[in-house]
Amino acid sequence: MSLPPEQAAASFRLHHPDLVLPPVVVVVPAFNEAGAVGPVVRSVPARLGGLDAATLVVDDGSSDSTLEEARAAGALVCSLPVNCGQGTALRLGYDVAIEHGARYLATLDADGQWSAADLDPMAARVTSGAADIVSGTRRGSGPRDSDDRVLRRSGVVVFAAVIRLLTGARVTDPANGLRVMTSQVAQGVQLDQPQFQSTELLISALCRGFRYEEIHVSHGPRQIGLSKKGRSLGYALRFSRALFGTYLRERGWRRRARP
């Protein structure tokens, strides 16, 4: 019996046997985002970083009309039969996009809190070869972060400081939903986290020597639907576990990779 991501990839293959994707694919994980996902899909520019772009929504076992809405808005949709978590959905999206020819991968949430237009300058850094992975950041100069939940805002500051301390890289917003990377990064890191993939991807990429940059992006409040993250303290604990667990694993990887 195959696992839900394998089932979803097989079904996508069956329905798109000859699909060749453009060089840039924007992967959008979506779990019960009806009302939000359609406008998000329509907001993705046709070109990013000077190259043609397509949008791939990974429907994470939604029970509402997320799938139909994403399709009607013009996205390709890969659908998980059950809810597997944001990290699993993203990993499935990367695999499917690369299998069908993508050379650059972007991520964008389906909840409308990030602006797809911010992906263009980020993609330009990656497609030009200046960076391997570029993340958005809500910190520094530019529009203010709309998130007024004190715990969540402090969490971003504290977790960023911890990652800086551990890796030496200039990281300011490890939970940002906007990211652009080469397919080599997605294939060169280890992604096991079912939920907290942003921190795992970041730490694994930094520890394995990929060139990392950040660009300021805007962040708005949710207009519709609910956050899937649960209570802030539990979220912070699970985020810490993913962060330190990944760092220890990557230290082991570096020791093994050393000649």
Regarding 214 and contact with Mg ion (CB under 5 A), the answer is no
Among 111, 132, 214, 250, binds Mg ion (CB under 5 A): 111
| Residue 96: closest CA among 25, 198, 174, 194 | 25
Regarding 69 and contact with ligand GTP (CB under 6 A), the answer is no
Q: Please give the distance of CA 47 from its chain centroid, rounded to a whole number.
A: 19
Q: Quick one: 70 or 166, whose CB is closer to ligand GTP? A: 70
> Residue count at the site for ligand GTP (CB under 6 A)?
18
Regarding 113 and contact with Mg ion (CB under 5 A), the answer is yes
Largest Cα span, the chain = 52
Q: From the list Mg ion, ligand GTP, none, which binds 86 (C-beta under 5 to 8 Å, kind-based)?
A: ligand GTP
Residue 195 to residue 215: CA distance in whole angstroms? 24
Part of the chain binding Mg ion (CB under 5 A), chosen from 33-41, 60-68, 111-119, 151-159: 111-119
Q: Quick one: 190 or 232, whose CB is closer to ligand GTP? A: 232
Residue 94 to residue 106: CA distance in whole angstroms? 9
Residue 100 to residue 79: CA distance in whole angstroms? 16
Among 229, 238, 245, 249, binds ligand GTP (CB under 6 A): 229
Part of the chain binding ligand GTP (CB under 6 A), chosen from 10-18, 45-53, 201-209, 227-235: 227-235
Q: From the list Mg ion, ligand GTP, none, which binds 164 (C-beta under 5 to 8 Å, kind-based)?
A: none
Least CB distance from residue 71 to ligand GTP, whole Å? 16
Residue 161-180 contact track with ligand GTP, rule CB under 6 A, x = bound: ----------------x---
**Count of residues in the chain:** 259
User: Applying CB under 6 A, which residues contact ligand GTP?
Assistant: 29-31, 33, 60, 83, 85-86, 89, 109-111, 113, 177, 222, 227-229
User: Applying CB under 5 A, which residues contact Mg ion?
Assistant: 111, 113
